[in-house]
Amino acid sequence: MTGENGYGEVLNGAVAAQNGHIVWVGAREGLPRPLHECAAVVHDVSGAWIMPGLIEPHTHVVYGGNGRLDFRMRIKGASRDEVYSSGGGVPGTVKATRAASEEELFTTASRRIREFIANGVTTIESKSGFGLDLDNEIKQLRVSRELGRALPVTVVSTFLGAHGVGPEFKGRPDDYITFLIDEILPAAVSEGLVDAVDGFADTIGFNDTQISRLFDAARAYDLPVRLHADQYSDASAAALAARYGALTADHLEYASEPSIEAMAKAGTVGGLLPGANFFLRESRVPPVDLLRKYQIRMAFATNSNPVSSPTNSPPAIMNLACVRFRITPEEALRGFTINAAHALGMQKDRGSLEVGKVADLSIWDIEHPDDLSCLLGPTTA
């Protein structure tokens, strides 16, 4: 699975690993000696497909509570504001997350991570953003770090304090951004809890100036940035992400062509989240044709969270990407492998089966790689 066109499949192939890294990959007939002479341990997968471990580049997997209230209200036609005012949405999850202990958050997040692992995921991004104060943002980030230590998966920890305005700062978003910059981000960095900084930029989120201040602070710590951009309206947030060389601009339903062009020039990945688009019954989809026109890498993610995308299944998201966004199955798989690696800045050591990369593999008992996208139902590695 290394090709830019198609899957780059190798039939009757083999992968050799040593000390956790790939040292050979190709057709078995190309091996210099028989398998059992080349390797101390040989695993015969009996015709299954060996693929790169899936990479999940956008989740909110550490949280308290559940999204049942949101779900019941939304299927009855409630608006976002009505859900929020009834105690649901992000504010409701913030309240539940604050009430949960670090141990409780670890236990519930572990269950979700294990579902991801069962679905072929070997690398996953985990955001904060449901604490929105010092103690609880740090609590979420600590749990993300502990998940990576305790489970057989690489966890990338992202600081998303700018997910919404903390309730203590209601009506004072500028002061809240100052609080993030002066208090929470330095504390998180000092504990080694942050791999990247994220924010929510939209007409109902933070504005250009506020996000720019946060990203300037991230730059001072030499941290990469990413952005929830133009999900509900065109706020030129994707262009803002590009201006800061963001790893990704995610969602993008309302992103304009000038913003997409700016992303292309900056090398910013387009992070597409079909689960949220479907679950929120959005009528507008991201501008996939523009992303193709400007040759922007498209990464896909579950956006796992209780509010807008309660799933831990990349194959389900591949199907939604194909059906709703008219993505090809090949694009969908690249979106969870090499393009997702680019979305996390990890493309040099994972995301494809190449010599020198980490030997994170997923093995699938399917007839063809298309099955990961076209089968609507549980497909596990």
Alpha-carbon gap, residue 206 to 179, rounded angstroms: 14
Q: How confident is the model over 199-215, as pLDDT tens digits?
A: 999 999 999 999 999 99
| pLDDT beyond 80 at 379 | no
Alpha-carbon gap, residue 278 to 317, rounded angstroms: 10
Structural domain count of the chain: 1
Compute φ and ψ for 8, nearest 5 degrees: 70, 35
**pLDDT given at position 375:** 87
Residue 178 lies in a domain: yes
Looking at this protein, which amino acid is placed at residue 265? K
Alpha-carbon gap, residue 54 to 338, rounded angstroms: 9
Domain residues for 347? 52-65+93-352
DSSP-based three-state secondary structure for 185:
helix
Tally the C-alpha atoms within 13 A of residue 199's C-alpha that lie toward its C-beta.
33
DSSP-based three-state secondary structure for 126:
strand
Residue 210 lies in a domain: yes
Q: How confident is the model over 279-315, as pLDDT tens digits?
A: 999 999 999 999 999 999 999 999 999 999 999 999 9
Tell me the sheet residues that pair with 199: 162
Alpha carbon 290 to its chain's center: 21
Task: At 271, list the tokens.
Answer: 């992070």
Residue 27 lies in a domain: no
Task: At 64, list the tokens.
Answer: 């308290």
**pLDDT given at position 217:** 98
| pLDDT beyond 90 at 193 | yes
Place of tokens 């109902």: 204
Residue 86 confidence class, pLDDT cut points 50, 70, 90: confident
51 neighbors 122 (Cβ within 8 angstroms):
no
Q: Which CATH number does the domain housing residue 293 bear?
A: 3.20.20.140
Task: At 178, list the tokens.
Answer: 């100052």
Residue 4 lies in a domain: no
287 neighbors 252 (Cβ within 8 angstroms):
yes
Residue 285 lies in a domain: yes
Tell me the sheet residues that pair with 16: 24
Looking at this protein, which amino acid is placed at residue 245? G
Residue 228 lies in a domain: yes
Alpha-carbon gap, residue 157 to 246, rounded angstroms: 16
Instruction: Report the pLDDT averaged over residues 340-368.
Output: 96
DSSP state of 181: I
Residue 371 lies in a domain: no
Task: At 307, list the tokens.
Answer: 């509010």
Residue 134 lies in a domain: yes
Instruction: Report the pLDDT averaged over residues 13-36.
Output: 90
Span of 30-44, 225-239, 319-333 with lowest mean pLDDT: 30-44
Q: CA-based Rg of the chain, rounded to a whole angstrom?
A: 21
